[in-house]
Chain A
Amino acid sequence: MGIKTFAAIDVGSYEVSMKIFELSKKNGVHEIDYIRHRIDLGTETYNTGHISYERMDELCELLNGYTQIMETYRVDDYKAYGTSAIRETVNTKVVTDQIKLRTGLNVSVLSNSEQRFLDYKSIALKSKYFSNIIDCGTAIIDIGGGSTQVSLFADSKLVCTVNLPLGILKLRSKLNVLQPGHLEYEEILSELIDNEIHNFRKIYLSQINIRNIIVVDDYLSQIALNVAKAKDTVYVTGTEFLELVETLRKMPQEEAAKKFGIQRENAALLMPSAVLVRNFIRVTAAEKLWIPGVSLADGIAYDYAERNKIIVSNHDFTRDIISCANNISARYKGSQSVGEELVAGALAIFDAMKKLHGLNKRERLLLELAARLHDVGCYVSLSAPAESSYSIIMGTEISGISHLERLIIATVVYNAYPKEVNYDDFNETEFNEKVFLTVTKLTAILRVASGMARSPRKKYRSVKAQLREKELVLTVESDSSLTLEKGFFLEQSLLFEEVFGIRPVLREKKGVRF
């Protein structure tokens, strides 16, 4: 048949939803059912760190209902992801185990950056206009219950992605504590939001002229979309949106719910989203607001389809991740040229050693990111760059990279700095044996690569790596002398020898001198 039926379940912080898709090479990702149910997991988690017994019951009952629907469609596969409401519980593993025991569903927990990356993927893949939109400066505002993610694009490239503590559930909780009056409500909300946007603006918005905003959320976009539909377009202008918010602001929630055809409970979440987007429009002076109408479930499906080679995307998401890493590196004044050389070297070694290390494409990407981010710590401390790099990497979101992966990158970077090998340094509590070995292997490779590229003044024309029996021959074509590198090289190759049983050898190939 060539059609795969796939279910994507999103255990969100205020809604649990499931979409059923048909995935096929011919028709791509085709949604056939969308089931949603409101369940406020977030408020409890954010306040107590736990999901109460009753709430858990409700959730499991709901998920059991979903599995029945999955049976109806005889789905071939599914992915179920929990986001911040599950992630921020203190006993996440217990929670997911409970769900597994009571519903049979494997719910994985997405890190924020993974989650946002999936949202981003669905925008990029579902929206016909996406590639045109990001030609100009663009911000994706992905509004969630626990936080809001802002990703900035310039020249069709992802510049950065930042997580702001502006989740609508959290905002609502904060406001409820203050119990403001109806008119005051919007003012206080606006102030809360502006406090956060202020810093963001200082750091990120200075070099980019944002002209488009893409909004991802559950309720606001629905209303905005209606406005757009009414005039037969797929966007609303900044002014139109400001007017819309103004109308909303003056309306009691009941009336808003009725007028815009949304459920009463959801109307309460509308105002935080609306003010958030409005204030962003104010600081960016964005001209157009795009509403792709996507949800995490779409992202899950596109990601699944892509990984299973059901769809081929014409957008290179790896490039986005790398571009994001480059921007982080640039922010901390990392050396671009050393970086490039390090990447070239590391990847050459990685590829040559394919048969021996048994690592995959994804791990190759992690190596590349580690190489690109290797010297971000120098910005903080020149004497302790390893520690500082580790901290910066752990403190910075890299689009599309899970928490574990980020930890791998940081650990690899930390250990790649010349120092005595201490295996304890390779281990983190969250690593299992497999991950530990991956980290070790990647570190070994990065160490060798960094041994080859010490000086920012030197320029390699090419780096070749060849595996010859017990040796890995690295041939570097360069204009300058490699005496310094050769000196360091031995020390940096020890780990490599130990891990792979292969000795790296550095060879110089002199090019034409000018």
Chain B
Amino acid sequence: MASEKNKEKNIDFRDSRYYMNRELSWMKFNERVLWEARDKNQLLFERIKMLSITASNLDEFFMVRVASLKDMVNADYKKVDIAGMTATEQLSALSRVTHEFVESQYSTYNRSLIPLLKQNGITIVTHHEELSENQRKFCDRFFEEEVYPVLTPMAVDSSRPFPLVRNKSLNIAALVSAKKTEDGNKPDTDFAMVQVPNVLSRLVEIPGDDGNKNFILLEEIIERNMDKLFLNYDIVCSHPFRVMRNADLTIDEDEAEDLLKEIERQLKRRQWGEVIRLEVEDTMDLRLLEIIRSEVGVGEDDIYHINGPLDLTFLMKMTGIEGFDRLRAPKWVPQKPKYMNEEDDIFSQIRDHDILLSHPYESFEPVTDFIRSAARDKDVLAIKMTLYRVSGNSPIIAALAQAAENGKQVSVLVELKARFDEEHNITWAKTLEKAGCHVIYGLVGLKTHSKIALVVRREEEGIRRYVHLATGNYNDSTAKQYTDMGLLTCSVPVGEDATAVFNMLSGYSEPISWNKLILAPLWLKDRFIYLIDREAENARNGREAHIIAKMNSVSDPDIIEALYRASAAGVRIELIVRGICCLKVGIPGVSENISVRSIVGYFLEHSRIFYFLNEGREEFYMGSADWMPRNLDRRVEICFPVEKPELMEDLRHFLQTELDDNIKASELQPDGSYIRPSKHGRAKINSQKQFAVEAEENAKLRKELVPDRVFVPETKYDDEKSSDI
């Protein structure tokens, strides 16, 4: 025992060798997404969707993460990261990995997906040169009628400077030379470009001769017709290119008098940040490439020569093509929640028992209904909630506005700083303000990431508070794609805490103490470390100790250190981490007892659930925070315990099923790679599929228990209907 302790003491758990760089770890995640695109067992459109996701993921990654590394290099920032790497080192490592990754993306596209599509009745004409006569005619006509009117061709010469190239826009660059003058002198070549308009669909359906549906990309049509844009020139060559700019918003809140205006201003500026990536067609003329390269100012490392169409995100559109249902997974219909019925109003159901919601297996409707009912209920005094990312046309926003119009006190904290959603959020914030809601635009210096809604209701026995706490945003459309958990409760201690949260968010002092909720940035990290250390202490005292934690990312050094300490003490630690994981497994004396698995599936894994054995008095927590410094130190986050035995049982089952997953899961290896778990001798378990089946069963069970008690008036006799049972 004593020697064990010594061993623990002698190890520096903060040694950078024990940590993985977060950007590289993220790239690993995107690779896992790409696996899904390469998985032959998947339906074709699902594979295409995944490939599209890898592309949009990578775009965001560049705009935010790579951009900030570039900023560090520019600012000559010398500090090393958790894994001991400088920004320059990270960039060069990333460049290598990213280039490989992009190759792999396009080989998937070219070698697997295009041929498969063709087999399945969809032909993509990759180059306009391959068009048939018939198709050519169609394309040229389409160009003249639809495309030409919205194009703005730009030529560069001594009197016209190089145009600004918009962030993420697709452009066609060309070398042009003025038509031969009469004196026969061969003129110099000039640069010209045109932006591929984003008002038109990039995927253009064209007539086909092979019995397939035929498509060509818009840029191919434009390229073919470049000469019509620059009439006085000869087109020497033309190729598409695309730039990515530094887009991370840095807002100086002290100087930003009005946050709203500042963000609007920044959004405009985002178009013109420093170029951090240049994508060009791999066959691009070198003279042309050199002009673009020097004008936008990128180094060789940041140029990506692409063998295929730039910007694969158009593929997402393709999966929406009508017909071809056999190529896509059937649309999942979220089921009626296990803990709810349709007879009683939502408040009486919450009074009766806590309700655990598991989205998207279970419908998000109860949450919308919760706010909607509150808006209409005459006894409701106030509705307070935080909004981080809301969907377009959000029913929650509509309900909140209605509530304000019905005379309820509605306070909404709209987080304007939600990345890439700022524009969106500003619109909603204004709508709500107009309706008479009290809108708070976040806290200075902190992002409000917590998901909490509070309904204050005046009842017979006095004020009663109903609270919804969740791991995901109040967004009814992402709730169909993200796996998240929610809890509806009217427990008094939670209600008191919820009130205190909103008091705090409104700028009043924090409460003297909290009953149940644990908040970041002030208390959450300490609590997690306490909970981990407690397990470690139990292990040291020879008791069984076990931690299971599921979340999106693990990168907080303090937490990882605590986990290493716990592992060294003998705690069994099972992590289910979808994305970034800076923790390394299998380091002797450090992390031998830690396993990490990642699940990338049909739905985006998003819930955060934490389990601690605590000498048998098990504790389950859920919340909005990942184990990342940004969540624990710079955001307002809420974690909450789940204490009702039947709900704890549900969570235990949920975690265990994910730990048993051997189809969509992959396990982190000591060398940093991920591999699929062995299925040898084990039943195949796809956790997401299993949860879906269970949700259907629960809904069916409920139906059998409580038949729909609705009388449908028969207005006309329908022959079909009578047999339709």
Q: Are A32 and B509 in contact (CB under 8 A)?
A: no
Q: Are A22 and B507 in contact (CB under 8 A)?
A: no
Q: CA separation between A302 and B513, bound complex, in Å?
A: 22
Least Cβ distance of A35 to chain B in Å?
Answer: 5
Q: Are B463 and A36 in contact (CB under 8 A)?
A: no
Within 8 A of A (CB), among B109-168: none
Q: Are A35 and B510 in contact (CB under 8 A)?
A: no
**Chain A residues near B456 (CB-CB < 8 A):** 72-73
**Chain B residues near A3 (CB-CB < 8 A):** 461-462
In the complex, besides A32-B463, A263-B510, 11 extra interface pairs with C-beta distance below 8 angstroms are A1-B460, A3-B461, A22-B463, A24-B462, A35-B508, A36-B509, A68-B438, A73-B381, A222-B512, A261-B513, A261-B522
**Chain A residues near B438 (CB-CB < 8 A):** 68
Nearest chain-A residue to B512 (Cβ)?
A222
> Which of B409, B460, B463, B507 is close to A68, meaning CB atoms less than 8 Å apart?
B409
Q: Are B409 and A72 in contact (CB under 8 A)?
A: yes
Q: CA separation between A242 and B625, bound complex, in Å?
A: 39
**Chain A residues near B513 (CB-CB < 8 A):** 222, 261
Q: Are A71 and B409 in contact (CB under 8 A)?
A: yes
Least Cβ distance of B410 to chain A in Å?
Answer: 10
Decide if A255 is an interface residue (CB 8 Å cutoff). Answer: no
**Chain B residues near A263 (CB-CB < 8 A):** 509-510
Q: CA separation between A35 and B510, bound complex, in Å?
A: 8
Contact flags B506-550 to A (C-beta < 8 A → 1, else 0): 111111110000000011000000000000000000000000000
**Chain A residues near B679 (CB-CB < 8 A):** none
**Chain B residues near A182 (CB-CB < 8 A):** none
Sample of 10 A–B contacts (CB below 8 Å): A3-B461, A24-B462, A32-B496, A33-B503, A37-B507, A38-B509, A73-B456, A73-B463, A222-B513, A261-B522
**Chain A residues near B461 (CB-CB < 8 A):** 3
Within 8 A of B (CB), among A224-275: 261, 263
Assuming the contacts A32-B462, A33-B503, asked whether A74 and B508 have C-beta atoms less than 8 A apart, the reply is no
Residues on B lying within 8 angstroms of A by beta carbon are 381-382, 409, 438, 456, 458, 460-463, 496, 499-500, 503, 506-513, 522-523
Decide if A34 is an interface residue (CB 8 Å cutoff). Answer: yes
Least Cβ distance of B527 to chain A in Å?
Answer: 11
Q: CA separation between A465 and B1, bound complex, in Å?
A: 88
Least Cβ distance of B490 to chain A in Å?
Answer: 13
Within 8 A of B (CB), among A21-42: 22, 24, 27, 30, 32-38
Decide if A180 is an interface residue (CB 8 Å cutoff). Answer: no
Nearest chain-A residue to B462 (Cβ)?
A22
Least Cβ distance of A291 to chain B in Å?
Answer: 12
Contact flags A465-505 to B (C-beta < 8 A → 1, else 0): 00000000000000000000000000000000000000000
**Chain A residues near B506 (CB-CB < 8 A):** 65
**Chain B residues near A24 (CB-CB < 8 A):** 462
**Chain B residues near A68 (CB-CB < 8 A):** 409, 438
Q: CA separation between A27 and B522, bound complex, in Å?
A: 34
**Chain B residues near A36 (CB-CB < 8 A):** 508-509
Q: Are A33 and B381 in contact (CB under 8 A)?
A: no
Assuming the contacts A68-B409, A72-B382, A261-B523, asked whether A37 and B509 have C-beta atoms less than 8 A apart, the reply is yes
Nearest chain-A residue to B509 (Cβ)?
A36
Q: CA separation between A261 and B523, bound complex, in Å?
A: 8
**Tier of interface size on chain A:** 20 to 34
Number of A-B contacts (CB under 8 A): 52
> Which of A30, A33, A65, A72 is close to B462, meaning CB atoms less than 8 Å apart?
A30
Least Cβ distance of B503 to chain A in Å?
Answer: 5
Q: CA separation between A71 and B438, bound complex, in Å?
A: 13
Q: CA separation between A286 and B511, bound complex, in Å?
A: 30
Q: CA separation between A74 and B513, bound complex, in Å?
A: 26
Q: Are A37 and B460 in contact (CB under 8 A)?
A: no
Within 8 A of B (CB), among A70-95: 71-74
Q: CA separation between A34 and B503, bound complex, in Å?
A: 9
Assuming the contacts A22-B463, A73-B463, A74-B458, asked whether A33 and B508 have C-beta atoms less than 8 A apart, the reply is no
Least Cβ distance of A228 to chain B in Å?
Answer: 13
Least Cβ distance of B445 to chain A in Å?
Answer: 15
**Chain A residues near B409 (CB-CB < 8 A):** 68, 71-72
Least Cβ distance of B645 to chain A in Å?
Answer: 24
Least Cβ distance of A273 to chain B in Å?
Answer: 15
List the 8 closest A-B pairs by CB distance, nearest first. A36-B509, A72-B409, A22-B462, A72-B382, A35-B508, A32-B463, A3-B462, A37-B508
Nearest chain-B residue to A4 (Cβ)?
B462
Q: CA separation between A226 and B499, bound complex, in Å?
A: 22
Nearest chain-A residue to B460 (Cβ)?
A1
**Chain A residues near B496 (CB-CB < 8 A):** 32
Assuming the contacts A33-B499, A222-B513, A261-B523, asked whether A74 and B381 have C-beta atoms less than 8 A apart, the reply is yes
Least Cβ distance of A487 to chain B in Å?
Answer: 64
Q: CA separation between A74 and B511, bound complex, in Å?
A: 22
**Chain A residues near B507 (CB-CB < 8 A):** 37
**Chain B residues near A293 (CB-CB < 8 A):** 512
Q: CA separation between A148 and B337, bound complex, in Å?
A: 57
Q: Are A27 and B462 in contact (CB under 8 A)?
A: yes
Least Cβ distance of A265 to chain B in Å?
Answer: 10
Most interface-central of B460, B462, B503, B506 (chain A CB within 10 A): B462
Q: CA separation between A293 and B522, bound complex, in Å?
A: 23
**Chain B residues near A261 (CB-CB < 8 A):** 513, 522-523
**Chain B residues near A72 (CB-CB < 8 A):** 381-382, 409, 456
**Chain B residues near A71 (CB-CB < 8 A):** 409
Q: CA separation between A488 and B409, bound complex, in Å?
A: 69
**Chain B residues near A35 (CB-CB < 8 A):** 503, 508-509
**Chain A residues near B499 (CB-CB < 8 A):** 32-33
Nearest chain-A residue to B464 (Cβ)?
A32
Q: CA separation between A74 and B507, bound complex, in Å?
A: 21
Most interface-central of A35, A37, A65, A73 (chain B CB within 10 A): A35
**Chain A residues near B511 (CB-CB < 8 A):** 34
Least Cβ distance of A340 to chain B in Å?
Answer: 46
Least Cβ distance of B383 to chain A in Å?
Answer: 10
**Chain A residues near B508 (CB-CB < 8 A):** 35-37, 65
Nearest chain-B residue to A229 (Cβ)?
B513
Least Cβ distance of B609 to chain A in Å?
Answer: 26
Q: CA separation between A480 and B506, bound complex, in Å?
A: 74
Nearest chain-A residue to B384 (Cβ)?
A72
Contact flags A37-72 to B (C-beta < 8 A → 1, else 0): 110000000000000000000000000010010011
Least Cβ distance of A27 to chain B in Å?
Answer: 7
Q: CA separation between A447 and B286, bound complex, in Å?
A: 116
Least Cβ distance of B615 to chain A in Å?
Answer: 18
Nearest chain-B residue to A32 (Cβ)?
B463
Most interface-central of B456, B461, B509 (chain A CB within 10 A): B509
Q: CA separation between A72 and B381, bound complex, in Å?
A: 6
**Chain B residues near A74 (CB-CB < 8 A):** 381, 458
Least Cβ distance of B96 to chain A in Å?
Answer: 42
Nearest chain-A residue to B411 (Cβ)?
A72
**Chain B residues near A34 (CB-CB < 8 A):** 500, 503, 511-512
Q: CA separation between A24 and B512, bound complex, in Å?
A: 25
Most interface-central of A24, A37, A72, A74 (chain B CB within 10 A): A72
Most interface-central of B438, B460, B461, B522 (chain A CB within 10 A): B461
Q: CA separation between A3 and B458, bound complex, in Å?
A: 10
Q: CA separation between A110 and B523, bound complex, in Å?
A: 37
Within 8 A of B (CB), among A1-26: 1, 3, 5, 15, 22, 24
Q: CA separation between A37 and B523, bound complex, in Å?
A: 20
Q: CA separation between A65 and B512, bound complex, in Å?
A: 20
Least Cβ distance of A471 to chain B in Å?
Answer: 55
Q: CA separation between A15 and B509, bound complex, in Å?
A: 10
Least Cβ distance of B654 to chain A in Å?
Answer: 32
Least Cβ distance of B519 to chain A in Å?
Answer: 11
**Chain A residues near B509 (CB-CB < 8 A):** 15, 35-38, 263
**Chain A residues near B510 (CB-CB < 8 A):** 263
Q: CA separation between A222 and B513, bound complex, in Å?
A: 9
Nearest chain-A residue to B409 (Cβ)?
A72
Nearest chain-A residue to B463 (Cβ)?
A32
Q: CA separation between A129 and B568, bound complex, in Å?
A: 47
